[in-house]
Chains A and B, each alone.
Chain A
Amino acid sequence: MKSIRLYVIFFLMHLKSMMQHKVSFFITLIGQFLISFNVFLGVYFMMTRFHQVKGFSYSEVLLCFSITLMAFTLAETVFRSLDTFETIIGNGEFDRILLRPKNSLFLVLCSKVDLTRFGRLIQAVVMLVYGICYSSINWTPLRCILVVLMILGGVCVFGAIYLIFACLCFFTLEGLEFMNVFTDGAREYGKYPIGIYGKTVLFICTYLVPFALFQYYPFLYLTGKSDNLWYSLLPLFSALFLIPAFLLWKLGLKHYQSTGS
């Protein structure tokens, strides 16, 4: 309870500091929107040309796109500090955090909340509403809950990936750029249901990094392409990805030697 109150205080603090540069904030917000709007335009023109891809219609693709985008954006907003963890380690900020009487991971998360990403969230919400209204999904209470579960599962998966990034920084002391494949790549290509990329990609995204567990399989159930009720539970399983990530964090923390700066 206390932690939540602390987080809220930190959140308000970040909000206040961002509002000091209102113009800059809103321009970045619009920029974020425009960049992901390009991706939407790409999807739109592809779908008007082809009408369907592997049996998924335009509105279904939009629904899938919005779920991935929303999960990614929420995760990026909250876990942004882990994405730039090498600077926190590099400038000695992490040593200061370790001195404080609270969980260090929690304090790292508090140290940065990036609200400019909300430009993307607006787009995700619009697409979600469109997808819900125009797709021929037979909405039951379970399916409504499933959409929420998919988004939350996605936040957990992306959060876990960010956490793993940060853990690697403990050992390498610098960011590993190619890890972006897993975050930006998943956002970029998660706009379509993962199954359309073929068996190999689906295999990797099921067993190695569980993107498909919150995106593809539950989506099959959501759109009525599969009756397997188990698929709707998979987003919960995808959240389990946080456990190895967290253990890795513990391990990294044990090994951590300050950069000495």
Chain B
Amino acid sequence: MKKYWSFFRIRFIRGLQYRTAALSGMVTQFVWGSMEILLFRAFYQASPESFPMTFEALSTYVWLQQAFLALYMVWFWESELFNSITTGDVAYELCRPVRLYDMWFVRGLAVRLSKAVLRCMPILIVSWFLPAPYGLTLPGDVKIWAVTILSMTLGLLLIVAFNMIVYMSVFYTVSSQGIKLFVTSLAEFLSGSVIPLPFLPDHVRTIVELLPFASAQNVPFRIFAGDITGPDLTISILKQTFWLFAFVLIGRYLEKRALKRVVIQGG
């Protein structure tokens, strides 16, 4: 356990070095969030009765999404990992007395967390000060905060576990390019990062909510915004847990099978 913890710390501290990048990222995300909310405002004005959530909930969703972008965006791939498989550098990693899956999992977590830690606070604070329906609305109940944090953790682990499946698949396909692009765009839409899932038509939405990607950012942000309550809340958390276990098991199985007869590329 200790070795994974120190590995986590190394990656985390390394991630904190990129401060200028974080600053410009923040500017971008702030503009993005504002435009998104202005866009939804136009739709809200067009017909408020067709709006599937309250406007406060939507604004909260958008700001959380921008603040924690680094945690839940599927497209934060680490090209270093892909390359290490393609070039054969992975052989060095395999020599170490640690399990590849665990090490890369910890690494993925650390990279995402360090990015998010640098960026989230200013966005959250500024959006909290914005006028009523356009800013971040905080829930009064302490229980909601606790559940949100639990759900955010599950969602983050789920996304990292999903990334791991894709990294492992490269052991079988060698070229990562195709699968990366395809999977990214599919997961993007299904996780609700293009438009929040409640905006989908009901029949599409029932299917999408059964899929694993709906268990990532969709759940915690909507819990925090007060859009998921009561029995739905428990079901959503259970679904998150289920998909997390499923993804971890699939990933670990793929890893085991790949490493049984590993072919090291390059020379």
Residues of A within 8 A of B (CB): 24, 27-28, 30-31, 34-35, 37-39, 41-42, 45-46, 48-54, 176-178, 180-181, 185, 188-189, 192, 196-198, 201
Q: Please, which residues of chain B bring their CB within 8 A of the CB of A51?
A: 46-47
Residues of B within 8 A of A38 (CB): 185, 188-189, 194
Contact A31 B50 (CB under 8 A): no
CA distance A209 to B195 in the complex (A): 27
Instruction: Give me 4 other A-B pairs in contact (C-beta within 8 A), A30-B182, A51-B46, A177-B28 excluded.
Output: A46-B195, A52-B46, A192-B39, A201-B38
Binary interface encoding of chain B residues 53-82 relative to chain A, with 1 for a CB under 8 A from any of its CBs, else 0? 000000000000000000000000000000
Q: How far is the CA of A182 from the CA of B184 in the complex (A)?
A: 24
In the complex, the 10 A-B pairs of residues with the closest C-beta atoms, listed nearest first: A31-B181, A178-B24, A196-B42, A34-B185, A177-B24, A178-B27, A42-B194, A197-B38, A27-B178, A42-B195
| Contact yes or no, B38 A198, CB < 8 A | yes
Of B21, B27, B177, the contact of A28 (CB 8 Å cutoff): B177
Q: Does B31 contact A (CB under 8 A)?
A: yes
B39 touches A196 (CB 8 A): yes
Find out whether the CB atom of B50 lies under 8 angstroms from the CB atom of A50. yes
Are the CB atoms of A45 and B201 closer together than 8 Å? yes
Interface residues of B in 165-216 (CB under 8 A from A): 175, 177-178, 180-182, 184-186, 188-189, 194-195, 199-201, 204
Please measure, in the bound complex, the distance between the C-alpha atom of A185 and the C-alpha atom of B195, giving whole angstroms.
16
CA distance A112 to B45 in the complex (A): 44
Nearest CB on B from A43, distance (A): 9
Whether the pair B43, A50 counts as a contact (CB closer than 8 A) is: yes
Q: Among B21, B24, B182, B204, which residue has its beta carbon within 8 angstroms of that of A31?
A: B182
CA distance A41 to B190 in the complex (A): 11
Q: Is B239 an interface residue (CB 8 A)?
A: no
Residue from A24, A42, A176, A198 in contact with B177 in the complex, judged by beta carbons closer than 8 Å: A24
Scoring A37, A38, A39 by chain B CB atoms within 10 A of each residue's CB, the highest score goes to: A38
Q: Are B189 and A41 in contact (CB under 8 A)?
A: yes
- The distance in angstroms between the C-alpha atoms of A48 and B39, with both chains bound, is 16
CB neighbours of A48 from chain B (8 A): 201
Q: How far is the CA of A42 from the CA of B21 in the complex (A)?
A: 29
- Chain A residues with CB under 8 Å of B200's CB are 45
Q: Looking at the assembled complex, report how far the CB atom of B86 sits from the nearest CB atom of chain A, in whole angstroms.
A: 13
Chain A residues with Cβ below 8 Å from B46 are 50-54
Please name all residues of chain B whose beta carbon is closer than 8 Å to the beta carbon of A178 when the two chains form the complex. 24-25, 27-28
Give the one of B35, B42, B201 with max A CB within 10 A. Answer: B42
Using a CB-CB cutoff of 8 Å, which residues 131-187 of chain B contact chain A?
Answer: 175, 177-178, 180-182, 184-186
